[in-house]
Amino acid sequence: MTTYAANRSLAIDPPAPDGSVVLDFNRATDLPCAYTEFATCPLRPSGNHLPIAVEAGEKTPAVEVTV
């Protein structure tokens, strides 16, 4: 698996005047729970997913950060 299984986050700008929105998946980032078991992260709503792989953005961390 190349990305964190639970979810990643993508900040987007407000819609343009024509209603369009640009999604730049190269800017997708892992949430804190991808790095340590001591963090909590929200789970995505069940209908909020894509049926295809998006091979862009931050990948699964190589090592877990411990405290």
Q: Residue 51 falls within a domain, yes or no?
A: yes
Q: What is the percentage of the chain residues whose pLDDT exceeds 70?
A: 78
In which domain, by residue range, is 3 found?
1-58
Q: Residue 63 falls within a domain, yes or no?
A: no
Give residue 48's pLDDT: 78
Q: For the whole prediction, is pTM greater than 0.85?
A: no
Q: Residue 64 falls within a domain, yes or no?
A: no
Q: 1 pLDDT exceeds 60?
A: no
Which pLDDT band, with edges at 50, 70 and 90, does 15 fall under? very high
Cα separations in angstroms, 36 against 6, 39, 46, 57, 63: 13, 6, 24, 19, 9
Q: Residue 66 falls within a domain, yes or no?
A: no
